[in-house]
Chain A
Amino acid sequence: MTRWAIEIAQGLLVLALAPGLVGVVRWLKARLQSRRGAPPWQPYYELRKLFGKEVVVSSSASWLFRLAPYVVFASTAAAACLVPSLAVGRPLDAVGDLLVVVYLLLLGTVFLALAGLDPGSAFGGMGSSREMTVAALAEPTVALAIFALALSAGSTNLGQIVGRTLTDPAAALSPGHLFAFAALFVVMLAETGRLPVDNPATHLELTMIHEAMVLEYSGRYLALIEWAAALKLLVFFALLGNLFLPWGVAVAASPGALAVALGSLLLKLAVIAVVVAVLETRLAKLRLFRVPELLSVSFVLALLAVTSSFLAR
């Protein structure tokens, strides 16, 4: 019973934290760029505002356009529930492994890409085409990185990967893990639409990917999509934090362990947020046709991760 209570509490926690994480990254970026910036909790206000507004739907859009926000939100939320943000040894550990998390996120991407095509605007098609290009090229890196992790843990199960590193701390510094971390970090930037792949702050049509795809959305639909995007960012941050540096994750279901887990989760999220904010301040956006080069670098890193995991076995 308590296990399921922890499960539900963890799900609600990540849902609640996600907009705040986006706000923190934006606030950090603003500070680094010597701007005052909006407060970190600004995204919550934005969501409330969007949920309170009426929706404008294009006359050329179909039912798919109105279904997509729910699919995107639900698939991202389901993926978020499977990630061990706070605890391992949970009942949901057996229901979905790391591959399920990745493919649930891809399901959301596919529906967003379809919804981008639906209203028939050139922007939507452009965003959709680019998003699928990036997703298709990022996918092999993700799978290879998972393969590398699974080779050392003996399983693609999230709980087992975390448990393996907890019992053998030296594994966290093995070359396989380090390469896989680097590869997944690059993919995280691409999949969540951060610089240098996509610029989350721009609405300049020729440079945007994600924003072009969701250009037609407004009101509650946009709110769901924005929330799902924030949740996706948190999923990737939590994966990077807890798979590679699992210390702090609760192994037992005691209140003390959970409090430590919450604290360490917030700390890890904050550290990764700072890294991303610094990167986004230092880096310029890549030309779209340079992005595949970046992704092939990450692919090679993942390949190195697999090779070194094989050698280390």
Chain B
Amino acid sequence: MTLETTACVLAYMVLAYLGGAVVALLPLRSGLTRALSAAAAIAGALAGIVLAARVLIAGAPFALTVPALLSVGGGLALRLDTLGAFFLILVGVVAAPAALYGAGYSRAYTGRYSLRWLGAMLNLFLLTMSVVTLADNVLTFVLAWEAMSVASYFLVMTEHERADTVAAGGWYLAMTHVGLALILSAFLLLVPVDGGGSFAELRLTAAALSPSLRGVVFVLAVLGFGSKAGLVPLHVWLPRAHPAAPSHVSALMSGVMVKLGVYGILRFALDLLGVGPAWWGALLIGLGAASALVGVLYALMEDDLKRLLAYSSVENVGLIFIGVGAGLLFTSLHEPAAAALALAAALYHALNHAVFKGLLFLGAGAVAHATGTRDMNRLGGLVRRLPWTAACFLVGALAIGGLPPFNGFVSEWLLFQSLLPAVGSSAPLVAPVMTLAVGALALTAGLAAAAFVKAFGITFLALPRSVEAREAHEASVTMRVAMVGLAALCAVLGLGAAFVLPALGSILAGYAGLPRVVPPLTAGPLLVPPGGGASISPSLVAIGLLLAMGAAWLAVRVGAARGLRVGDTWGCGRIGQTPRMEYTSTAYAEPLRRVFAELYRPTEDLTIDVHPESRYFVQSIAYRSEIVPWFERYVYGPLVRRVAAGAGRTRAIQSGSAHAYLAYLVVALLALLAISLAWSG
């Protein structure tokens, strides 16, 4: 009976998303289109959460196969286990506020860009992301994955009249299909010769595979899913495509879609492939550490608010992969308790990042909506014009900066604890890898705090740096409700860590190399990682902070003078303060740019125009400085040029005549037949 109810919830979710997509395409008034497509998306998201919650509470997977549909590849096979359910919750938690926000945000698109396509594609995007977490055979998975990529491509292209959007879309399309090719190859190596490609069959073939071939499958999966997750060096599309999309879509892409890359790797490593050798974990830790550092270092230098957030997603994905890598390392060393802690920390950070990055993108969207610019050097002073947005963005910034008592601190603390191999493992790989991971984690945490002080401080504080910022307006009610909801969730996930962590532990129970029953990671309000004697209580720390603030306020109120005078900002005696005297975003990051100049290699161009009479009278000074990420300069630049040159060479056989193309098809077909005959014979 419960199975039928669960199936009903699933049907409800699918119908809500599909219905939303269809309704959005109907020729209705634009206001109605926005409202209906958002309502459908919210209904679908809530149904997804209920579905996942039922699976998590029951603790047993839910499976449904429709062999009639897609009968070629074994039919449509759906199965939701606890790992998939976690990621389905991730989809729902960000999708509901993002859709609500989108209803107000997309009003500005009325008459300029197609609201119908936006509504339809948003619902399809959410549906396909949900199906990815449910898929139980290769065909279902790959179809949902590809549909998700295409739907998100169309969403990125919403503002298609802007040249940079088109370029970003091109990068995204190319990178996502490279990733798809790698994922497909990983699957093809696992599919049995005569099988239908269900995940159960894949598990059996994986167990029989030689260790080196399993390693190849793992690396292919890491690269394929890593390109979606934004792992360095496959991250180049992310800082382009995420900012180009409408802000609620950016929130979904950075908050959720990127995590599905993590899901794919976890599905391969924890489920399909089973426990692997230690270098799998070490590889992920290395890639994670590189992503974390590269992401945060470029985030610091960014002047575009949304690009800063996108680079910070690369950083946070890196942190998640450090946790995943540590988990895999411990499973291969047969330390199930330590592995469970590391993976729980990674999942916790994935959830937290979904919430605060979603929130920050929505906040950045409200800023862009209000001022028409994302350039922080033209913003400022918005805390007075957009008080709600500012307060929510501040919460998100503190959370992502890893500051107590918000959720980011809790998951980073857990990551740190999981890297402490107090469990007494003495494998040769552990010491250098763990030291590297801790160093990266710590450097990242400090730089992230600096990046988000810059993001919040320059955007929202001081005097407005442009007319647009001076005349900005607060976001609409739906946008504000969505942001407040996510900000509240940041606090809840931080303060309620003692409830969240055991749930994450039970999600992981029973996967490859993990204990069947994960030991409790909490004791009352305390978080107690296994092995060490360390513990913290985020809720009690928060109470202590609030008590201390209250006591200080009360004592000052009673004991100190009450006078308050409003005056000018002190400026060494000059009269009148203008925004030109403020520190800008670029200036703020200048010390760190000098410190890491070897990495950034900024190009600088200084032109000084002097008076013809005397060179001591300067007429104008022009200073330009640009940082081109060296990865793009030295790897992707030459690569793109080679590919373009190669494509140019094929022009010789491109006559434009349909007959010639038909002939090519026949030749190709015959050649393939001949090859396959030779192969089998």
Contact = CB atoms under 8 A, between A and B. Distances in A.
Q: Which of A60, A119, A124, A135 has the most CB of B within 10 A?
A: A60
A3 B548 CA distance: 19
Nearest to A94: B535
Contacts of B456: 114
Interface in A13-27: none
A139 B446 contact: yes
A47 to B, nearest CB: 10
Contacts of B540: 95-96
Nearest to A122: B581
A104 interface: yes
Contact of A99 (B416, B426, B562, B571): B416
Nearest to A59: B566
Given A100-B536, A150-B534, A155-B533, A57 B461 contact: no
B70 to A, nearest CB: 50
Interface in A74-105: 74-75, 77-78, 81, 94-97, 99-100, 103-104
A306 interface: yes
A281 interface: no
B549 A133 contact: no
Contact of A59 (B426, B563, B568, B595): B568
A184 interface: no
A106 interface: yes
Interface string B418-457: 0110100010000100010011011101110110011011
A136 interface: yes
B570 interface: yes
Nearest to B591: A133
A129 B420 contact: no
A296 B286 CA distance: 21
Nearest to A132: B450
Contact of A56 (B445, B537, B565, B571): B565
Contacts of B552: 70, 73-74, 77, 224
A53 B454 CA distance: 32
Interface residues of A, number: 83
Given A137-B595, A150-B422, A310-B435, A103 B567 contact: no
A126 B588 CA distance: 7
B669 interface: no
A117 interface: yes
Interface stretch (B28-36, B246-254, B399-407, B503-511): B399-407
Nearest to B593: A133
Interface string A154-197: 11110010000000000000000000000000000000000000
A140 B439 contact: yes
B462 A54 contact: no
Contact of B537 (A59, A96, A109): A96
B591 A129 contact: yes
Q: Which of B439, B531, B590 has the most CB of A within 10 A?
A: B439
A58 B381 CA distance: 13
B563 A54 contact: yes
A110 B398 contact: yes
Contacts of A139: 442-443, 445-446, 449
Given A51-B559, A62-B461, A100-B541, A125 B442 contact: no
Q: Which of B458, B461, B546 has the most CB of A within 10 A?
A: B461
A223 B560 contact: yes
Contact of A125 (B416, B541, B567, B582): B582
B548 A74 contact: yes
Contacts, number: 264
Given A120-B581, A139-B446, A110 B403 contact: yes
B53 interface: no
Nearest to B539: A95
A55 B563 CA distance: 6
A63 B457 CA distance: 13
B536 A96 contact: yes
Contacts of B441: 143
B579 A156 contact: no
A104 B403 CA distance: 7
A310 to B, nearest CB: 4
Contacts of A122: 571, 581-583
B463 interface: yes
Interface of A: 51-64, 70-71, 73-75, 77-78, 81, 94-97, 99-100, 103-104, 106-107, 109-110, 113-114, 117-126, 128-130, 132-133, 135-144, 147, 150-151, 154-157, 160, 215-216, 219-220, 223-224, 288-289, 292, 303, 306-307, 310, 313
Given A55-B565, A141-B442, 6 more contacts: A58-B569, A74-B549, A95-B526, A110-B398, A155-B422, A155-B533
8 contacts: A73-B548, A96-B540, A118-B461, A121-B570, A125-B588, A142-B442, A156-B417, A289-B595
Interface of B: 380-381, 383-384, 394, 398, 401-404, 409, 413, 416-417, 419-420, 422, 426, 431, 435, 438-439, 441-443, 445-447, 449-450, 453-454, 456-458, 461-463, 526, 531-537, 540-541, 544-546, 548-549, 552-553, 556, 559-571, 577, 579, 581-583, 587-592, 594-595
